[in-house]
Amino acid sequence: MSSSEKNGSLDASAGASVDVDAVILVGGKGTRLRPLTNNTPKPMLPTAGHPFLKHLLARIKAAGITHVVLGTSFKAEVFEDYFGDGSDLGLEIEYVVEDQPLGTGGGIRNVYDKLRHDTAVVFNGDVLSGADLGDILATHREKEADLTMHLVRVANPRAFGCVPTDADGRVLEFLEKTEDPPTDQINAGCYVFQRELIASIPADRVVSVERETFPQLLQEGRRVYGHVDTSYWRDMGTPQDFVRGSSDLVRGIAFSPLLEGQTGEELVDPSAGVRDGVILLGGTVVGRGTEIGAGCRLDGTVVFDGVTIEPGAFIENSIISSGVRIGANAHISGCVIGEGAQIGARCELSSGMRVFPGVVIPDGGIRFSSDQ
C-alpha cells in the first residue's frame, strides 16, 4: 500500500479537482456470479457494507476526479436509481446506455460524447484495485503518453494475457495466455486515454480493446506506456473472488476510503442482531436487519440484508443473499445461497453449490462432498 493510500487519499493533491474524466464500464451481466446477478448488476452487489461500485467511486473522488460517466447496459436503471447525479458523493455522474453489447472498446467509444476533458481514465467496473490513481496519471503526463495502461505484477502470469514493456516503460506487445510468459506484467483493466484516441475507435459495433484497439495503436507508433506496480488487484467475477475481495476490504488488506477506521475481522450493520456466543471471523460482513442466533460461527462470509440464521449454524467462505433463512446447526461451506432461499436445520452444503432464489432445502438435506 502506498503512503498516499494509508493517508486515505490516492493522490497528493486529493481534494483538488483535476481535469480528467472517469469512465466506468458496468454493462456486463455477471454470469459467473449467478444467481446473485439475476436481478442485480454485479457492480451493485453488497461488498464490505456498500455496493461494490461505491468503493471505486470513492477512490475516484479521493484522486480529485469529479466527473464520472457510467457505461451501462444490463439493469441500467439500477445505477441511476441508487447514485442519481452523484452529488451525495461529491461527484457529477452521467449515464450512457448500450442498446446492444459493444465490447470494451465499443463501450468506451459509446461514452465519447459525454467527455469534457482531453484525458479520461477508464475502469472495468468489476475490478477491485489498490492502485494509486494519482501515480498512474503522473506517469501518463511524464511520458506524454497517448495511452497509459495500469499493469500489475502477479505471481502466476500464465493465467492472464501479458504486456511486456521496454526499459522506459513503453509497451512492446500484447500477448495472449501462454505457458511460458516473457513477463509477469498483466493488464489490470485501468487505462488512461487521450480523448482523440477514443474518437478513433469505430462507433456502433463490437470492438475489443485488447485484440483490436491496442495492437492498432502500436502499429501506428502511438505512445503507449505501462504504469507497473504490485498494488492489490482482484477480478471480482467469481464467487470465490467476490468473497475474498469483500473480506480483504473489511480487513484492510484492500483499501477503500469508505472503510477508514472500520477495518477488522468483521463488519456488522448497526441494525443487525447478533446473539451471544456468535463468532465472526475472516472479514465477515453482516447486512442490515440480519439476525444471527446464539452459537453461530461465520468465517469469511458475506451476508446480505434481512437474513435469518438460526442458532448453531456454521458458515464459511460463502455468500448469503437477502431474505435467506438458514436453519439451526446447518453447515455451509463455499456456497452461494440465492435470494429468499430456505436452508433447513442440519443441512450440509459445500463444493461450490449454488442455491437459486426461493429454493427450499428441507431439514437434514443432502450432504455435498468435496469431489462433487
Distinct helix (H) and strand (E) counts, the chain: 8, 28
Any domain includes 372? no
Q: Within a 13 Å sphere around the CA of 129, how many CA atoms are in the beta-carbon half?
A: 25
Task: Check residue 29 and give its pLDDT.
Answer: 78
Check pLDDT > 90 for residue 141.
yes
Band (pLDDT 50/70/90 cuts) for residue 101 is confident
Task: Check residue 16 and give its pLDDT.
Answer: 64
Average pLDDT, stretch 264-288? 95
Average pLDDT, stretch 290-296? 96
Average pLDDT, stretch 274-298? 96
Among 256, 280, 305, residue at a domain's last position: 256
Torsion angles phi and psi, residue 302, rounded to 5:
-110, 115
Q: Are 89 and 195 in contact (CB under 8 A)?
A: no
Among 230, 256, 282, residue at a domain's last position: 256
First to last CA, the chain: 39
Check pLDDT > 50 for residue 98.
yes
Question: In Å, how far are 177, 275, 276 from 293, measured between CA atoms?
Answer: 47, 5, 8
Band (pLDDT 50/70/90 cuts) for residue 1 is very low
Band (pLDDT 50/70/90 cuts) for residue 12 is very low
Residues 180 and 207 in one domain: yes
SS3 53: helix
Band (pLDDT 50/70/90 cuts) for residue 349 is very high
Residues 165 and 70 in one domain: yes
Indicate which CATH number applies to the domain containing 236: 3.90.550.10
Task: Check residue 159 and give its pLDDT.
Answer: 83
Any domain includes 369? no
Contacts of 313 (CB under 8 A, 6+ apart): 293, 296, 297, 326, 327, 328, 329, 330, 331, 332
Average pLDDT, stretch 17-30? 88
Band (pLDDT 50/70/90 cuts) for residue 335 is very high
Residues 203 and 296 in one domain: no
Q: How far apart are CA 305 and CA 295, in angstroms?
A: 20
Residues 182 and 302 in one domain: no
Any domain includes 99? yes
Residues 118 and 188 in one domain: yes
Average pLDDT, the chain: 90
Average pLDDT, stretch 291-297? 96
Check pLDDT > 70 for residue 14.
no
Residues 13 and 34 in one domain: yes
Give the rounded percent of residues in the chain with a pLDDT score beyond 70: 94
Whole-prediction pTM: 0.90
Average pLDDT, stretch 340-354? 93
Pick from 28-32, 115-119, 153-157, 193-197: least confident: 28-32
Band (pLDDT 50/70/90 cuts) for residue 237 is confident
What's at 154, amino acid-wise?
V
Residues 196 and 343 in one domain: no
Any domain includes 371? no
Burial of 298 per CB tally in 10 Å (0-12, 13-18, 19+): buried
> Model confidence over 166-182: pLDDT tens digits?
999 999 999 878 788 88
Average pLDDT, stretch 225-247? 94
Q: How many domains does the chain have?
A: 2
Check pLDDT > 50 for residue 3.
no
Q: How far apart are CA 119 and CA 300, in angstroms?
A: 39
Average pLDDT, stretch 338-342? 95
Give the rounded percent of residues in the chain with a pLDDT score beyond 90: 74
The single-letter DSSP state of residue 135 is H
Torsion angles phi and psi, residue 188, rounded to 5:
-95, 5
User: Could you tell me which residues are beta bridge partners of residue 170?
Assistant: 225
> Model confidence over 254-273: pLDDT tens digits?
999 999 888 889 999 999 99
Task: Check residue 9 and give its pLDDT.
Answer: 39
Any domain includes 130? yes
Give the number of residues written for the chain. Answer: 372
Torsion angles phi and psi, residue 284, rounded to 5:
-65, 140
Band (pLDDT 50/70/90 cuts) for residue 369 is low
Residues 251 and 278 in one domain: no
Any domain includes 368? no
Band (pLDDT 50/70/90 cuts) for residue 366 is low
Band (pLDDT 50/70/90 cuts) for residue 297 is very high
Average pLDDT, stretch 115-137? 94
Range(s) of the domain holding residue 142: 3-256
Average pLDDT, stretch 29-35? 85
Q: How far apart are CA 227 and CA 206, in angstroms?
A: 27
Residues 169 and 284 in one domain: no
Residues 340 and 313 in one domain: yes
Helices 52-62 and 133-142, axial angle in degrees (round to 10): 50
Task: Check residue 4 and give its pLDDT.
Answer: 41
Residues 218 and 332 in one domain: no
How many CB atoms are closer than 10 A to CB 172?
Answer: 14
Any domain includes 350? yes
Residues 270 and 145 in one domain: no
**Angle (CA) 144 146 150, round 5°:** 90
Among 205, 231, 256, residue at a domain's last position: 256
Task: Check residue 10 and give its pLDDT.
Answer: 38
